[in-house]
Structure 1
Amino acid sequence: MTGADKVFAGNIPAIYQRYMVPMIFDPYAQDLAGRLAVLRPGRVLEMAAGTGVVTRAIAEKLPETEIVATDLNQPMLDTAAELQRGQGKVTFRQADALALPFEDKSFDTVVCQFGVMFFPDKHQGYREAFRVLRPSGAYIFSVWDRISTNEFITVVNAALAARFSDDPPKFMERTPHGYHDVDAIAAAVREAGFSKVSVETVDKVSRANSALDAATGYCQGNPFRNEIEARAPGELQSITEAVASALAEQFGHGPIEGRIRAHVITATR
């Protein structure tokens, strides 16, 4: 992972929240919150909370559960705190998932939706989750499957590869969709000390109000934007519109939808 992969600054958090969250993150946030509702933990640690889509989903289903939502990126947390509006028992705290500022065995459950892929040392992330979990506690996290099983980003990636044929941007392939070997993931989690690990592949439907909305989210609402702007300064909007045309050609005009696929891992301490 490069340093640019971790940059969610400027207006990226707002665009991410407006377009990316409802399009691809909310369906899995609801799924994760449903899993926690079965466990009914008293105290939850969320890592890589971003703009808080999972935080809000858990707080809605489990209003009496104490949630400590953390992220390395303060602008994302600021957006999450603003959106939370005092609902549930939630504390937001900037924290590094590889060096958590919490005592051993202090949480019933740890969750992390689509954040592990960004950790520069994933094994250390697993060890930290294990450390802060109470006995028999669960660590539930999700990772995206390969790009080819996620329809919108497949088209977006192809359109950008055609536009920058000599040096296509690789952020999506390298980071969000670059950590999907479930056997290797499960082995690393067990190595961290977890006694039981299960993996479930979960298909959902991604929806956007328009092809332009989807293109805006992918091209402007995450670090993909940094790679596009580095290759074509001043052309971000025109490139976004070209990507929107490719999406419209594939999925139609007006509201669009496509398949998304992720792996949900549950590890028990």
Structure 2
Amino acid sequence: MAILTSGMPLAQRVALISENVTGPPGAEMLRLSNMASCEEVTVLDNASGAGILVSHLIDLAATAPGLQLQRLVAGDLDPEAIRYVKERQQAQLIIPFPDASFTHVFANFGILFSFEDGKALSETYRVLQTDGTAGFTTWKGIKWWADLAKPAFAKYLPDAPGLPAPEDIFPSPGWKDPNLILKKMDQAGFVDVKVTEFHFAPKVVPEEFCEATAALVKLIAKRAWSEADFRRYAGELEGAMLRCYQDDFGEGKKQVRMTALITIGKKR
């Protein structure tokens, strides 16, 4: 079933569409955190976006015997994102956070966009209680870039300037390499760190998938291209990707294979 996003602002619509691929790793991160076996928890969902992890947390609290979700905080740099999360789930935003405020801190694909991931990790460590759990999801690779975006540009926009891959422009590098992730977590003081590969294949609606991925491509193009090139080609990116998708896969929902990395660590 397609997501009902008509009439929504573009950024909010894209965030909701993207939850089809960010939601499953987020749910698996909660499972691997063993939070369901806890009793009283206080949770920070950092870089919450449109709030898919908040939804999973509320569902978990409603179904896990004995789990009491005492406090749930959603944080994001985008105030519009937080406004929407509050409307969607009635989550409470409380800032600033003193030391040892939470039993769990999660960031579902948020650490990739941190300009200082070392500081983000140290702050995560600071606000965790002793024996608290931190969880992060990241992409092992952006498969749709090689399988869809690059072929689409080569076929339908051959004169457009080249673009770097998304993983090459994330502010915080190294999060697709389990060994580097372990090193980062160790430097931040976390123990019992595990990095797990999570393979999944969500079914996507071609029009929605291409709209969401094209939004990221346009952000990359905005940085990489001249203003003249951006004005000339940006409006054609989504259409080129959709045409290429339909050339290869036809109409209707299709499964897209993806691999996320889920990192879980503890504070001692």
TM surpasses 0.5:
yes
User: Which runs of 5 or more structure 1 residues have no equivalent in the other structure?
Assistant: 1-9, 96-100
* Whole-angstrom distance in 2 between the partners of 1:241 and 1:126: 39
What is the correspondence of 1:60-209 to structure 2 with a 5 Å cutoff? 60-63=59-62, 64-65=68-69, 66-84=71-89, 86=90, 90-92=91-93, 101-147=96-142, 150=143, 152-159=144-151, 161-162=153-154, 163=157, 167-170=161-164, 172-175=166-169, 179-209=175-205
* Whole-angstrom distance in 2 between the partners of 1:160 and 1:77: 34
TM-score by length of 2: 0.81
What is the correspondence of 1:176-255 to structure 2 with a 5 Å cutoff? 179-209=175-205, 211-220=206-215, 222=216, 224-228=217-221, 230=227, 231-233=229-231, 236-255=234-253
Residue of structure 2 equivalent to 1:4 = none
* Structure 1 position 46, deviation (Å): 1.2
Find runs of 4+ consecutive structure 1 residues off by over 6 angstroms: none
Residue of structure 1 equivalent to 2:47 = 48
Residues 181 and 164 of structure 1, relative CA distance in 2, 3 Å threshold: farther
* Structure 1 position 208, deviation (Å): 1.2
Moved more, 73-82 or 159-168: 159-168
Q: Please give the secondary structure, in 1, of the residue aligned with 2:190.
A: coil
Residues 93-138 of structure 1, C-alpha deviations (whole Å, 9 max, x = no match): 5x7xxxxx21111110111110111111111111111111111111
Contact 2:197 2:259 in 1 (8 A): yes
* Structure 1 position 227, deviation (Å): 3.8
Moved more, 48-57 or 38-47: 38-47
Identical-pair percentage: 19
Residue of structure 2 equivalent to 1:262 = 260
* Whole-angstrom distance in 2 between the partners of 1:251 and 1:40: 46
* Structure 1 position 217, deviation (Å): 1.1
User: Which runs of 5 or more structure 2 residues have no equivalent in the other structure?
Assistant: 1-7, 63-67
Q: Please give the secondary structure, in 2, of the residue aligned with 1:111.
A: strand
Q: Which amino acid aligns with 1:243?
A: M
C-alpha RMSD over aligned residues: 2.5
